[in-house]
């Protein structure tokens, strides 16, 4: 009876551990997704200009980059448990800072705190899970972090839909003052709704045990034993403690020459190989284009041939596929293994991206560049307002000579790539057949960063002062025939397939690869550096996506994503060791072996 009670207690604690980790993933997802629903109402009621709003959106990325840089050092200094609690507290504090804000400064501060929280969570929660969960449940636990991360993004979208429906009912009353007040309440409420998960995460972080491996590395062996016993049997605990001691002694021995302590080089094979593998996997994870495909999904599907409504339903399906297939990945990761799922997922991604690229290529071969005709319509104030309707389309295409003749009289879409000095941007895609579409509007105030800090993160090599007086240059004005609905849905289906393969493989395994591969000595700082590389690749892709699409087409960008994923597949299939069922010490020992 006592053994059964003890077993149930350990099972209960393991479930609680997974719940706390899942709440960390949920907060990470909310951090990423919440601003999309709140931004339209914030823009309508705050009186902030476009530059200030763009910085409020970007402040999360800035805060995340800053905190990721120091997260590993902080995790080693104060411990995993305390840093998790701190990250939760920062999130909790950020909510009232934003929701009660009455000006630009408090909004920026609140969003920076959210970003700092997200950066810390992205490092410390997978790190904590890797060091606390048993080898048989580590994959499932880290997978749940990713699963609830996707739930956070989906939840943010549904919260936005709820307030959108509520506001449409208020708008029907025809009272402008009530509608303004309702929009102000809406964006503040969207942030308030995300507060309870943050509070629960803080409470949960205080109730779980500290990482036994962190405790052991600090010489607190009895505390490490007690932490392990909360989730392991006596036998399992003794085995892992013995492995920790052997690993620690081997590390100490390797740092001594003739009995004298020396500083061990971090360039040894056992450190460099796993670190490079983790960096390649994280970089390739972003190079699949997943963030851009999710972020620009509605625009992609409109260009593919779907209507505006159908494209937005396509986005709902895409995010739902991501959420649901992640569940399958969580169930398979400890049964089939990381290597198998990463190989399967990356192979499926390559196939689906190539098909999407070929489908777009068939349409984009017919598009033409009407840059000169659009440049002529730029005003003396170096701005442009262009309603793209059938009449304007006929005018532009007619002036383009023989190249524009095949498109005359047929529905077409227009995207403009433009620049002020070193800063390049692209407009939204507008269809000639969309009678409700707003005119394309380009001006300096909404196109340039509002200050040099934002300018640096937008383009570190650009000169903002020169751009303030540079003329508006239309680099491309690309007119493309609108594909058929059938082609649009075919592209949408293969994007759903892409999302499914990503969710079952890279989506679940990337956090595992990050935390499992790193040896104990470099795990926390190595994870920080690898995540910084991950964010750098993500930021680069976000910066080049629209300009590349505008100039070379979706087919080119999807072929590039597929090419990067080939590197991912080769790394996973031929160089990544299988870590399923192995303790962290066993994984570290694998990389310590000589080539012989």
How far is residue 535's CA from residue 559's CA, in Å, rounded to a whole number? 22
Among 331, 276, 337, 271, CA closest to 135: 337
- pLDDT at position 344 is 93
What's the CA gap between 408 and 400, in Å, rounded?
A: 11
Q: What is the pLDDT along the chain (596 residues), one digit of tens a residue?
A: 545 555 556 777 878 887 887 788 888 777 666 776 677 778 778 777 666 776 777 777 778 878 888 888 888 888 889 999 999 999 999 999 999 988 888 888 998 898 899 888 888 887 887 778 776 676 777 777 778 877 877 777 777 778 877 887 887 888 888 888 888 888 888 888 888 888 988 998 898 888 888 888 888 888 888 888 887 878 888 888 887 787 777 666 655 544 444 445 555 666 778 888 888 888 888 899 888 888 777 778 887 888 767 777 887 788 888 888 988 888 888 788 888 899 999 999 999 999 999 999 988 888 888 888 999 999 988 999 999 888 888 888 888 878 777 788 788 888 888 889 988 877 877 888 777 677 888 988 878 877 777 777 667 778 888 999 999 999 888 888 888 888 889 999 999 999 999 999 888 887 777 777 776 666 667 777 777 787 778 777 876 777 787 778 889 999 999 999 999 999 888 888 877 777 666 777 776 664 43
Q: How far apart are CA 73 and CA 70, in angstroms?
A: 5
* Residues composing the chain: 596
The DSSP element (H or E) to which 268 belongs, if any, is none
What torsion, rounded to 10 degrees, do the Cα atoms 294, 297, 298, 302 define? 180
Residue with tokens 């790193």: 518
Q: What pairing do the DSSP bridges indicate for beta strands 260-261 and 440-442?
A: unpaired
Distance of CA 203 to CAs 82, 198, 398, Å?
Answer: 11, 9, 66
- The 3-class secondary structure across 400-414, one letter per residue, is CHHHHHHHCCCCEEE
Q: Please tell me the predicted confidence (pLDDT) of residue 594.
A: 44
- In 3-state terms, what secondary structure has residue 579? coil
Q: Pick from 198, 235, 241: which is nearest to 221 by CA?
A: 241
pLDDT digits (tens, 9 = 90+) for 368-408: 888 889 999 999 889 999 998 888 888 888 888 787 777 88
Alpha helix stretches (DSSP H) within 503-553 = 508-517, 523-552
Kind and range of the H or E element at 461?
none
* Per-residue confidence (pLDDT) for residue 268, from 0 to 100: 63
Q: 541 has which bridge partners?
A: none
Query: How many whole angstroms from its chain centre is CA 103?
Result: 28
Question: Are the C-beta atoms of 506 and 285 separated by less than 8 Å?
Answer: yes
On whether the CB atoms of residues 299 and 428 are closer than 8 A, the answer is yes
pLDDT at 491: 93
Q: Angle at Cα 73 formed by Cα 85 and Cα 249, nearest 5°?
A: 105
561, containing H or E segment: helix 554-570
Extract the tokens encoding 118: 């997200």
| 256 DSSP β-pair partners | 261
Residue that has been written with the tokens 């390559």 in this structure: 350
């Amino acid at each position: 009876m006592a053994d059964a009670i003890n077993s149930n207690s350990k099972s209960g604690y393991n479930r609680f551990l997974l719940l706390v980790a899942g709440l960390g993933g949920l907060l990470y997802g909310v951090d990423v997704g919440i601003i999309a629903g709140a931004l339209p109402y914030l823009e309508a009621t705050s009186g902030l200009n476009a530059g200030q709003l763009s910085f409020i959106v970007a402040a999360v990325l800035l805060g995340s980059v800053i905190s990721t840089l120091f997260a590993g050092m902080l995790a080693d200094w104060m411990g995993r448990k305390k840093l998790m609690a701190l990250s939760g507290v920062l999130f909790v504090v950020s909510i009232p800072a934003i929701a009660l804000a009455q000006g630009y400064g408090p909004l920026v501060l609140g969003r920076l705190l959210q970003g700092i929280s997200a950066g810390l969570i992205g490092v410390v929660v997978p790190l904590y899970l890797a060091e606390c969960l048993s080898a048989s449940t580590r994959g499932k636990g880290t997978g749940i972090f990713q699963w609830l991360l996707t739930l956070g993004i989906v939840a943010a979208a549904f919260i936005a839909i709820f307030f959108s429906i509520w506001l449409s009912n208020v708008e029907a009353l025809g009272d402008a003052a009530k509608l303004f007040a309702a929009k102000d309440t809406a964006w503040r409420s969207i942030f308030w709704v995300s507060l309870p998960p943050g509070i629960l995460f803080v409470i949960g972080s205080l109730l779980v045990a500290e990482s036994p491996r962190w405790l052991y590395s600090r010489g607190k062996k009895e505390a490490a034993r007690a932490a392990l016993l909360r989730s392991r049997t006596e036998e399992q605990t003794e085995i892992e403690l013995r492995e920790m001691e052997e690993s620690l002694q081997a590390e100490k021995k390797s740092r001594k020459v003739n009995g004298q302590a020396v500083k061990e080089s971090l360039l040894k094979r056992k450190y460099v190989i796993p670190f490079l593998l983790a960096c390649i996997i994280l970089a390739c994870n972003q190079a699949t284009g997943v963030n851009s495909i999710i972020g620009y999904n509605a625009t992609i599907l409109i260009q593919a041939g779907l209507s505006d409504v159908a494209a937005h339903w396509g986005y709902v399906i895409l995010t739902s596929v991501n959420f649901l297939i992640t569940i399958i990945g969580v169930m398979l990761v400890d049964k089939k293994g990381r290597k198998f799922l990463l190989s399967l997922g990356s192979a499926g991604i390559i196939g689906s991206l190539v098909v999407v690229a070929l489908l777009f290529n068939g349409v984009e071969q017919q598009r033409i560049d009407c840059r000169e005709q659009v440049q002529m319509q730029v005003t003396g104030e170096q701005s442009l307002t262009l309603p793209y309707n059938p009449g304007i389309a006929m005018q532009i295409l007619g002036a383009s000579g023989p190249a524009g003749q095949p498109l005359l009289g047929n529905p077409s879409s227009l995207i403009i790539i433009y620049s002020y000095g070193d800063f390049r941007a692209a407009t939204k895609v507008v269809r000639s057949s969309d009678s409700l579409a707003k005119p394309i509007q380009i001006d300096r105030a909404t196109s340039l960063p509002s200050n040099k800090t934002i300018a640096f993160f937008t383009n570190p090599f650009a000169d903002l002062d020169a751009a303030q007086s540079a003329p508006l240059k239309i680099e491309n004005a690309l007119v493309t025939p609108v594909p058929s609905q059938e082609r649009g849905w075919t592209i949408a289906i293969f994007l759903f397939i892409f999302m499914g393969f990503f969710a079952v493989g890279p989506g679940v395994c990337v956090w595992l690869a990050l935390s499992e591969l790193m040896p104990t000595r470099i795990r926390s700082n190595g994870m920080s550096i690898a995540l910084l590389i991950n964010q750098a690749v993500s930021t680069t892709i976000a910066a080049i996506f629209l300009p590349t699409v505008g100039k070379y087409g979706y087919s080119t960008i999807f072929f590039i994503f597929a090419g990067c994923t080939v590197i991912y597949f080769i790394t996973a299939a031929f160089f990544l060791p299988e870590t399923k069922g192995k303790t962290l010490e066993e994984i570290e020992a694998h990389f310590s072996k000589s080539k012989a």
